[in-house]
Structures are given as C-alpha cells and as structure tokens.
Structure 1
Amino acid sequence: MGRWTTKGLAIAAALLALAGGPASAQLGGVVPSASLPVDPLGTVGKVRDTVRDTVRDVADAALEPVGEAARDIGRLARDRLQRLSHYVSDNAESVEWDDRHQPAVRGEILLLDPDPEALGVARRNGYAMIEQGALDGLDVRYARLRAPEGKSLARAIKALRKALPGREISADQLHFPAGRPAGGARESGGGAGGLPRGGTVGIIDGGIAGSDRLAAQQGFAKGAPRASDHASAIASLLAGAGTARIYGADVYGSDPAGGNALAIARALGWMQGQGVTVVSVSLIGPANPLLARAVASARAKGIVVVAAVGNDGAAAPPAYPASYPGVIAVTGVDGAGRVLIEAGRAAHLDYAAPGADMSALVPGRGRVALRGTSYAAPLAASRIAARRAALSSAASALKAADAEAVQAQPRTGRGVLCNICRSGL
C-alpha cells in the first residue's frame, strides 16, 4: 500500500466529489448547460457508481498515474457530451436525437418482425414504408419506416410504440469510431515472434486502403467504400500481427448518418456470407434491438464478434456492440501494461490488448502513432483468428486464447492478448 496511500486518498476524495455533486460538477463544472443535450447517453446518471468502482481500483498498477484521474474523468465525460451535441447540430439534415437522446438517422424508424397487421397500423398512423426485408444470412426481418411529416423522431417512436405495444421499435442509432490515428512516427519492429499466425478477420468500420491482405471489401453506406485512416490503420495492425486475410465492410462511406445500426447489421450478414469467422468492430454506440438480434444470429452461426469498449472513460455508459451477450469485449493497455485512462467500459470484459505506444502505416500519412481501444480490439481478434484457423470451433479458439492471455485482473478481463505483437507495430 505504501506509496499509494496518500495519492489514493487524494484521488478518492476528488472522484467522490465528482460523483456526489450536481451535474455540472460531474462534468468538470465548465460546460454551459444550454449548449449540451440533456445527458444523451446516460453519463451523468451513472457517474456515481462508476466513479466509486474506479476509486476501489486506485491502487491498481494497471491504472494510469492516479494524479491525472480526477481531471481526466471529468474531461472525458464533458468532451463526449460536447462531441455528440456538435455532431448532431452540424449534421442536422441527416441526423437527429431519438427518444433516448441518442444520435440517429433522421426521421427513420426500425420495426422488427413486421407483419401485415403491424404495417397496416403504422400506415394508418402516417408512417410511410421506406424498405422491408431481411438481413442476408442472419434471418432477421425488419422494416424501415419514415416518421410522419412534422413529427420529431423521438415523438414518432413513442407514438408508434403506443400504437403497436409489445413490438420491437427503435431508431437507427449511430456508432462512432473508438479512436483515431494520431501524429508522430516510430520504426517498426520484428513482428509477433513465435505466436501462431494466420487466420481471417473481418473489419466493420470505414473503407480500407493500402493493405495487401485485403481479400474483399463491400460498402454499406452512401459513397462506400471510401478510404478511412481509422480502418486502414486497423488493417495495418492486423497485417503486422500476422493475419493472413482481411475482409472490409465500410459502414460510413461519405454519409453523415453512416455507422448506423442497420448498416453494421448488414455488414455482419455479408461477413457471414463470405465465410468470415472472426469479426472486429472498433465502433461504439447505444444498444439497438436490430443490431442485438443480428449479433446473436451471427454468433449462432459460429462468428466470433470482437469489439472495443471505447475511449469515453469509465464514467461513460456501457458501449455497444461490446456489451451485447457473447461479444468479446476488449480494452486497451499502454506499453507499461497500464489500462488506458480513457478506456470505456462494457457490460462485461473479456480481454485487453495493446492500445498505445505503437504505430501503423496509413496511406498518405506514413507511419503514425496510435492510441485507443479501437486498436486493441483487432489485435485481440488477430489472436483469436489465428487459433480459429487451426481449431474446429469458436469455443476451442477462445479457450486457446485464454491460455495465451497474461496478466489477468479485473481491469484486463481474462488477460492481455497479443502483447508481444507490439514489437512489430
């Protein structure tokens, strides 16, 4: 306990002050309330319990230096609210808040398992059909409906739920990348050593450029596939970790409403049709019933879905798709083995992997430094895929990954995967 005692008490006091104060204190006390949405992803309402959990972990050597934690937790919460608010405001023609104050595709509503009776009720209440269909390969049926003219998305969802009680109805919420390439270059090292290599990983993200491992790429948004630094960096990491083949699904393209739940669900169906058995998703958003159903169907068909927990800090609400049952949730560690201070959280945690103090090749930018759980998820996926290529089932591949993981503790789940990969990144 020694050297942690004084610092631990100081950080506990600071964090509990954040947890116990009014909303402005919880967000750092400097955010003009009129400029922000009312807690769009539930941050303020959940800060108290999460911060207390963080206090219990203060003496954990896997944390960033504790003197920075009180400042960072408030900054991350504040930045997240501002970022989402500005995004919706800047893209108001394509995006609006839904009934849970989540960013979503403007004016569009998803109805699961539509039947003639339900569609008739919707039509009589002024909801127009945009599209009706099923996700290829995943056996999930849905309808996209247009909200009635002059009615906000939030009001339209509530009204349709009242007209169709018991039905699964939601907005088509947006998901955002869990990290971006930064600046600064460093030299590449010597690869993943003697670990098993190979396997196939699917990336659901933006468009991929500059990868000689890319087997196929498909677009699921307007203007897709369109090269993305984020996705290209992930592909570079996978190549460095020894992944043999990469499949890319661009769910963003040039669409401000890209990254929506329906696009990600369609991408999962495409991955299933391509025979991809491990899919990495470095995107975060809220829970969505259509995407939850798609993930469950993909898993039932043998796909291992690996997802990042995000970079909005421990006070953020649980990130999805990482929080869906059975998804492999991954956090990030730095070169000293410390969990990233900005790492978000999920309803469960499976592994950690390198998420800082490494680099990747990005076309047009050269070798760039990386930081974020976005980059940890594909490295964990690379290890699972290498095992999956040699073993008969997803369960056996995950069991082998468990045996490979090191430094297991509560903040790294079953342990750190691919730590040796850092030398080649």
Structure 2
Amino acid sequence: MAKGRDVQTGALRTVRGARSFALTLAWVLGLCVVAPTGQAQPARSPPGVILEAPSGPALDHRGLRAQDLFRRYARDIEIDRRGEAVVRGEVLAVGASAEALRKARAAGFRVKRIDKLPEIDLELTVLGAPLGMPVDDAVDRMRALDPIGQYDVNPVYLESGVVVAEQAAGATAARTPARTASARARTSPTKIGMIDGGVDVRHRSLARSKIDQRSFVRGGVMVTPHGTAVASLLAGLQEPFRGAAPGATLYVADAFGESPTGGSAAILVRALAWLALCGAPVINISLVGPANTPLALAVQAMVRRGYVLVSPIGNDGPASRAYYPAAYPGVVAVAPVDRRKRRLVESSRSNHVDFTAPGADMAAAAPLGGFLSVRGSSFASPLVAGSLAKSMTVPDPAARARALDLLGRQAEDLGAPGIDPIFGRGLVAFNLRTEPVAVDTSGRR
C-alpha cells in the first residue's frame, strides 16, 4: 500500500481553481474570510485560509459550486436534472450482466471501466453514453434496455464547504509521491480511514502518525488544505493543539487529485473498497452530495461488516435538501456547533443527526506548516470519527454498537432531553476545540 510521507517543497494551489470561486462568492455575499490570527496581510496575496462560509437558509453552496464546475470544465462535467454536477456522459452500472452490456454496446454505449470489488461484494461498471446524449437520458435508456439492472449517474461529491489556499506567484503544487515509506514510528494502535484530498504528511502535528496515502485519480496524491486539516483533527498532536486520536495510523484515499471529476461516486466506491482492505474500522468522509445507487450499496456493505462511516451533514442551511453519505442509514451523521455550543446557522437539514461536535472558532493544521482557522461541518466530522476510533480495533458489528453506545453516554446532552433532531445523541469532543489564537498561524513548521 502507498505510504506517502515525502512532500516536495513549494506552495499549494487549490484543486479545480476553488480559490477564485470562493473569493468571488465571499465578495458577493459580503462574507468575512477567516484569516490566521496574528499573520500579516501582504498586499498581493493574503495568507492561506480555509473557509467554510456561513450561509443563510436559502443559500445553496453545492448548487453554486456545481455551476462553477460546469462553467470551467464543461467537457468533463454536466448538470443533471437535480441540478447536481455529474461526470459528463458516464452511467454507473452495478452487477451488469453480459447480456446487458451487449445491449448497451449495440445501443452505442461503450464500456469504459469494470471494477470487481469483492471487499464490498460489488462489481461496478462505468459506461460511456453515446456522443451528445444527456446523461439522464442515457440512464433512462439503460434502464429501458435492462429493467432489472441498477443504473445511475456519476455525481461529484464536494468538500463540505469552500477551501481557499493562497500561494506565491509562480509556485507549483506540492505533491506527495504515491509510494514513499514513513520513517516515523507509530505510537498508537488506532487506525482510521479517510476519503478526502491529500494530506501534508510532514506537518509537525502528524509526526507521531503513520500515514498511508493512495490516489484514486491520475497524477498522484495532491496535498490539499481540506485534507490536511481533517487529518490533523483526526490524529494530530502539537500542543496545545490536539486531534481526537493523536498518533493514529491514517489510511488516506485521495479522491480529488487535480481532476475536475475528482470526488465522483465511482471514485468513492473504489476508495471504500480499498479502505476495507486496509481494515481501518472507522472511516471519515467529509464530503457531501446527492443520493447515488452504487454509493448507497457500497455504504450498506461497509455498515453490514461493522465499519463505522462518519460524515458531515453539510453547510447549505436548514432549508437545504439532505446530503449524502451522511443521510444514508447506518452512517454516523455529524452536525457542527460554535464556541457557545450552538448549531451553526449554515448547517444543513438532515434525515438524522447522530452527534454534534465543534465546527467553528477553532484551528486545524495548514499545509506547509502552522495552523489556520476553520469553520463548517467538514471539521466536526473528524472529531467524532477519531473519538469513535479509539474504542474500536477491528470492524465488527458488535464493536460498532458498543463504540456508538459508549460515545453516546459520554456526550453532553444539549437541546431537548435525550436524542433530538438538532443535537442527536449530544455534543462530543468539545474540549478538543483549539482557539486559533492559541497556536502558531505564521506558517512556520
């Protein structure tokens, strides 16, 4: 397995040009960018910022970002009937028979890829639609050709908020070689999986962790601010900053790289199969998107085997739709709170909430050293995942139930007595919220 530890020097660039879009969005909404405390603001380029922008009840961040992806990558992305960004012309098929594929080819479809994934009892086929056929029509066509088959679009899942990373003019992206061994000893038996962007494995807060990274897109692992922040909240330690499970081994599935179609459902399914091979009993997925048949089946398979999947509910406001994978049965859905233990006003509606955790007014690791301020449900989720992982050693349904029960008994009951739709089983890991002013935000290692 890939063990990414060696990061080249140089600054970061944001995957899919998120910087320009996020800054435009902030300007339009009049938002305040959360900047590192105590760091000077150069005239040409402010310091790196992770921003999960507050949104009103009617603001649809995913919709805006989907449209932005489509405008910039129309050759790769199209918008489906739901208004979601999906991979252009791709139809996903689960367990398609040889006869179904014969009919598909006769109708002008081509088989782009077949993944046999015994770890999750799933065979995933990616079909290319006939040239010029809208993807929804292509799905309808395949369902008509094979009524008993399972077909769907290939939507793109996005980080649960907007990520911004500044860099010096002309700097190149920092890459993590896909197969570089760690020289640092692991000091914790805890194992955690994550599906996200790549992680800066040289950050001092992760010095005690062993990190195995694998890219699921072409070009190798790409370090991102979002992935690095999430990893530090899972396993980081650099006093006074502490993640939920300091020193844990992390298995990082980089679902994005530099590809405009990174984060697709097909990639997430393959990443889950790899993490099942790794055996990490708890997996954090700080991404949100629409319901999808292949992803739902992969999630069900993981839950049946006793894996704990943890995911945020999103940041599109209480009037938003429910987002996945958090809304799938069996997934631990996490909502964010601020320093006053109030649900963030921008947190999305969800079919269910299991736990709440800090998601604002706090620090997380930044690529190339130091810390940044973070906000949003993306950063509440790893605090819950890390807390659960400390009481699980292997994936097992009984161990899963015990871990959830234990964390529920440790949680602070907020809102209505008992389990409620706003705070779930209660607030956890509030003591792990590190004030940005308490850590170095200068960018030094």
Query: TM-score normalized by structure 1?
Result: 0.76
Contact 1:320 1:346 in 2 (8 A): no
Preserved CA contact (<8 Å) 2:214 2:221: yes
Report the equivalent of 2:424: 413
Look up the SS of the partner of 1:379 in the other structure. helix
Q: How does 1:6-405 map to 2 (within 5 A)?
A: 72-74=56-58, 76-77=59-60, 79-180=61-162, 199-209=190-200, 210=203, 211-212=206-207, 213-238=209-234, 239=236, 240=242, 241-243=244-246, 244-364=248-368, 366-389=370-393, 393-405=399-411
Q: Residue 404 of structure 1 aligns to which amino acid in structure 2?
A: Q
Letter matched to residue 73 of structure 1: P
1:334-372: CA deviations, max 9, x gaps?
Answer: 010000111113221100000011101212362100100
Query: Displacement of 1:182 after TM fit?
Result: 7.0
Aligned to 2:176: none
One-letter amino acid matched to 2:399: S
* Between structures 1 and 2, the one with greater helix share: 1
Say if 1:181 and 1:233, in contact at 8 Å, map to a contact too: no
Which secondary structure does the structure 2 equivalent of 1:165 belong to? coil
CA separation in 1, counterparts of 2:322 and 2:199? Answer: 27
Q: Deviations over 1:370-424 (max 9, x none)?
A: 1000000000001111122499711111110111111243311010111111148
**In 2 relative to 1, CA 253–80 (structure 1 residues): closer, same or farther, beyond 3 Å?**
closer
Matched residue, 1:190: none
> Using the alignment, how far apart are the partners of 1:168 and 1:80 within structure 2?
26
Aligned partner letter, 2:405: K
- Partner residue in 1 for 2:23: none
Picking from 424, 433, 438, the partner of 1:422 is 433
Deviation string, structure 1 residues 93-114 (Cα, Å, up to 9, x no partner)? 1111234332111111111111
Q: How far did residue 214 of structure 1 move?
A: 3.6
- TM-score normalized by the length of structure 2: 0.73
Q: What is the CA distance between 1:87 and its match in structure 2?
A: 1.7
SS at match of 1:156: helix
Q: 1:422 to 1:182 in 2, by over 3 A?
A: farther
Structure 1, unaligned runs of 5 or more: 1-29, 32-68, 184-196
Counterpart of 2:309, as a letter, is: V
2-structure distance, mates of 1:174, 1:181: 16
Report how many residues are paired.
Answer: 344
Q: Secondary structure at the match of 1:203?
A: strand
Q: Distance in 1 between matches of 2:424 and 2:56?
A: 23
Structure 1 runs of 4+ off > 4 angstroms?
180-183
| 8 Å CA contact 2:57, 2:320 repeated in 1 | no
Task: Give, as a single letter, the amino acid of the residue that structure 2 aligns with 1:174.
Answer: V
Q: How far apart are residue 242 of structure 1 and its match? A: 2.8
Residue by residue over 1:302-360, the C-alpha shift from the partner in whole angstroms, topping out at 9 and shown as x without a partner, is: 21000000111111111100011100000000010000111113221100000011101
Instruction: Give how far 1:73 is off.
Output: 1.6
State how far apart, in whole Å, the 1-side matches of 2:56 and 2:290 are: 23
Matches of 2:189 and 2:428, distance apart in 1: 15
Deviation at 1:294, TM superposition (A): 0.6
Paired with 2:154 and 2:163, the residues of 1 have a C-alpha distance of 27
Percent identity over paired residues:
35
The superposition leaves residues 186-211 of structure 1 with CA deviations (integer Å, 9 ceiling, x where unpaired) of: xxxxxxxxxxx962221100101133
- Determine if contact 1:323/1:348 at 8 Å carries over to the other structure: yes
Deviation per CA, 1:264-315: give whole Å up to 9, x if none.
1111111110110000000000011101111111111221000000111111
1:181 Cα deviation after fit: 5.6
- Structure 1 residue identity aligned to 2:115: G
Counterpart of 1:12 in structure 2 is none
**Change in CA separation of 1:228 and 1:234 when aligned onto 2, cut-off 3 Å:** same
Cα pair 1:180 1:372 within 8 Å, conserved: no
Contact 2:196 2:254 in 1 (8 A): yes
Q: Distance in 1 between matches of 2:411 and 2:64?
A: 37
Letter of the 1:176 partner, please give it: L
Report which structure shows greater RCO (CA 8 Å, sep ≥6).
2
